[in-house]
Amino acid sequence: MQHRITNPARQQRIHETNFIAAKIVCPKCITTGEWKRSLKNKICKVCGPHRTITFSQQPYNETITDHKIISQNPLEAFALWILYDLPNNYDTYVYSHFGGRFDMVLVFEKLYSQNLNPELIMKGNKLYEMKVAKRPNSNPNIVFRDSYNLMPMALAALVPTFGLEVEDKPFFPHLSNRPENYGKSIFPTKEDYLADGMMPAKRREFDIWYEENKNTPFLLDEALASYCTNDVEILMCALIAFRNEFFETTKRASHNGIDALRECMTIASACMKHFRTNHLQKEHLAIVPERGYENVDNQSLLALKFFQWYREENNVEIQTAHWKGEKVIGKYKLDGWIEEEQLGIEVNGCAWHGCKECYPSDNMILPNGLQQERNDKKIKKEWNIF
């Protein structure tokens, strides 16, 4: 919830967590189908005593879960649970959708308050992975990841994408998620649902739904439990469907496939893992060009330094690979071009172009793959054109 304003001038609000839902599964439970069932009457040594668990500020009755933890600080309770209450001898992988910019950032603060310094893989302010290393007799290895990096679509879109047999993601009045609405019946407005920010198709669907339900009392305590546990159910079903399909795609006679949820952080890394495992020939390297696969002009450091000196020494603008791109004359490109003087400049370094002092023999092979003699003829031909 975001009910407290921290900067009135800019209407900035602080985000506070008032409900968390989690679902725990292990590979064995996925294989046997037990992941769909409660653990109230059957404890799994890997998953622990609970299949579903919630952390909330208020109690609720209508949503069925294995365990409820009521706390005025649900985020702290969640952090302590995932650190110290799960079986210590199994690695834990924690997925949240859009978690790299949201859930994982909030959890990081609570981990840090426990004197932990997680290993982070980031790009800008976005977290791709957050790992808490195992401590003996304390916590297991815990790896937080963003499921959006494996399935890049909105959470609601996962249901039709994977054909999930789960309740669709409902509309929720996020602006009504405020402490003063606990324990009472309210009637949220369209503004509370952030309707003006919806895409046209979703807005039309919402307007129909709202007209049918606007007079139904909204109970925040119960709605939070229903909404959050449904989100987690959608995500868990989608992750398992994705995992199963990736196993089927990548399995071979020599192995059962790749577990993308354990071994891969993004869909790109999953595809590369598949390529390396199943398609890259033995004793071969997947060599990526140093400057990538894009067709861009390349220029030596020697040439760039020379042009910088020449530019400052003569107070002229020089067209280079790094400024406007190399000047093209016929089918050749010039290292440097001064437009006002109609002057072309070629910087022929020793190694690539083969100066006579460093490469005196006509039979020597230069770094460009040519013999010195053939390289001389190539350079003379270029100069004849210019």
Per-residue pLDDT of the chain (386 residues; tens, 9 = 90+): 666 776 777 667 778 899 999 999 999 999 999 999 998 878 888 998 999 999 999 999 999 999 999 999 999 999 999 999 988 888 999 999 999 988 999 999 999 988 899 999 998 889 999 999 888 777 888 999 999 999 999 999 999 999 999 999 999 999 899 889 999 999 999 999 999 988 898 999 999 999 999 999 999 999 999 999 999 999 999 999 999 999 999 999 989 999 999 999 999 999 999 998 998 888 776 666 655 565 556 667 788 888 889 888 888 888 888 777 888 887 778 888 998 888 888 887 776 666 666 666 666 666 656 665 555 666 665 555 55
Q: Which of 58, 86, 114 is the last residue of a domain?
A: 86
Q: Which of 41, 67, 86 is the last residue of a domain?
A: 86
pLDDT value of residue 87? 84
Residue 27, in any domain of the structure: yes
Per-residue pLDDT of 197-215, as tens digits, reads: 888 989 999 999 999 999 9
pLDDT value of residue 239? 97
Residue 376, in any domain of the structure: yes
Q: Domain span at residue 66? A: 1-86
Residue 119, in any domain of the structure: no
pLDDT value of residue 262? 93
Residue 230, in any domain of the structure: no
If we measure between CA atoms, which residue out of 82, 89, 24 comes closest to residue 50?
Answer: 24
Threshold 0.85, pTM exceeds: no
pLDDT value of residue 322? 77
Residue 7, in any domain of the structure: yes
The Cα 188–Cα 174 span in angstroms is 10
**Domains: count for the chain:** 2
Residue 49, in any domain of the structure: yes
Q: Which of 63, 86, 109 is the last residue of a domain?
A: 86
Residue 60, in any domain of the structure: yes
Residue 37, in any domain of the structure: yes
The Cα 375–Cα 357 span in angstroms is 15
